């Protein structure tokens, strides 16, 4: 049976549907064949726009994976997420946020008790110290409320640009920058959006390429893709919606 590929304006919007000459639809799962047809987009800005378009369609439900009900809870959860999975953090905070209701409770608890409560997230001594310091400063300087300015939130214990961007973006909808975690950093390098290793330099590169209206959501799309497809050790290039515009595909999957 001779088949022809049915596309939508020459894009990959519908790459899993073929039709035969009678118009009958059936799924052939032909991604391997299709992605062998590379599309060269040398302009980084145009490539970034295409990356965003595809990831937005692939992950319409992308969101912040850290469970929280207040900006302060998101701050604590983000501090705990350093070198720890979001899943583990959510397990810990499910109990933690019932025990400690706000900055005052965290400021009052002893260092030793808080360390026990967050032990399983790793680096528990530094994390407990930072959470207590941030809570104390919030009480002393900001009336217990998370400030909504980058320069102010950076004065809190344990808060660097990544944490600040997470809180400002997801709690307040303020596009202060682009969150760069291990997934965003790895994918940005593989997609040729940066050659830097340092998170702040990667962020600087991304803010030049990603339209500001996407600064908050771009990391979520990248993180979802990094967890499900472009994993660290062995990316699944054969099912990747970015494969034919990814400069790293030939490195990881030269047979495609």
Q: For 161-189, what is each residue's pLDDT tens digit?
A: 999 999 999 999 999 999 999 999 999 99
pLDDT reported for residue 40: 65
- pLDDT at residue number 25: 36
Ramachandran bin of 123, using left for φ above 0, alpha for ψ from -120 to 50, beta for the remaining angles:
left
What pLDDT score was predicted for residue 254?
A: 86
Banded model confidence at residue 39, pLDDT cuts 50, 70, 90 = low
> Is 236 a residue whose pLDDT tops 50?
yes
Q: What is the mean pLDDT of residues 87-110?
A: 98
User: Which letter does DSSP use for residue 20 in this model?
Assistant: E
Helix axis angle, 217-228 relative to 44-58, nearest 10°?
70
pLDDT of residue 73: 98
Q: What percent of the chain has pLDDT over 70?
A: 84
Average pLDDT, the chain: 87
- Distance between CA atoms of residues 131 and 137, nearest Å: 10
> What is the rounded distance in angstroms from the CA atom of residue 83 to the CA atom of residue 97?
20
Contact 82, 117 (CB under 8 A): no
Residue 25 sits at φ, ψ, to 5 deg, of -90, 140
- Please tell me the pTM assigned to this model: 0.82
Question: Which residues are identified as catalytic?
Answer: 162, 181
φ and ψ of 8, to 5 deg: -115, 105
Average pLDDT score over residue span 97-125? 98
Radius of gyration over alpha carbons of the chain, in Å?
Answer: 22
């Amino acid at each position: 049976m001779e088949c022809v590929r049915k596309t939508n304006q020459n894009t990959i919007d519908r790459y899993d549907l073929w039709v035969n000459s009678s118009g009958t639809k059936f799924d052939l799962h032909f991604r391997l064949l299709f992605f062998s047809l590379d599309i060269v987009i040398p302009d980084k800005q145009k490539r970034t726009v295409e990356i965003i378009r595809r990831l937005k369609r692939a992950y319409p439900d992308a969101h912040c994976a850290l469970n929280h009900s207040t900006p302060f809870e998101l701050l604590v959860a983000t501090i705990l997420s350093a070198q720890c999975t979001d899943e583990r953090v959510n397990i810990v905070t499910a109990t933690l946020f019932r025990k400690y209701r706000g900055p005052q409770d965290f400021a009052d608890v002893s260092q030793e008790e808080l360390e026990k409560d967050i032990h399983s997230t790793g680096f528990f001594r530094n994390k407990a110290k930072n959470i207590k310091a941030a809570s104390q400063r919030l009480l002393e300087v900001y009336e217990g409320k998370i400030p909504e300015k980058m320069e102010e939130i950076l004065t809190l214990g344990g808060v660097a640009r990544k944490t600040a961007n997470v809180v400002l973006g997801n709690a307040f909808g303020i596009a202060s920058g682009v969150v760069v975690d291990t997934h965003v950093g790895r994918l940005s390098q593989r997609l040729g959006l940066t050659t830097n290793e340092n998170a702040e330099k990667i962020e600087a590169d991304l803010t030049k390429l990603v339209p500001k209206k996407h600064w908050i959501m771009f990391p979520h799309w990248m993180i979802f893709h990094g967890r499900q497809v472009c994993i660290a050790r062995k990316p699944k290039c054969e099912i990747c919606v970015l494969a034919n515009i990814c400069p790293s595909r030939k490195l990881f999957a030269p047979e495609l």
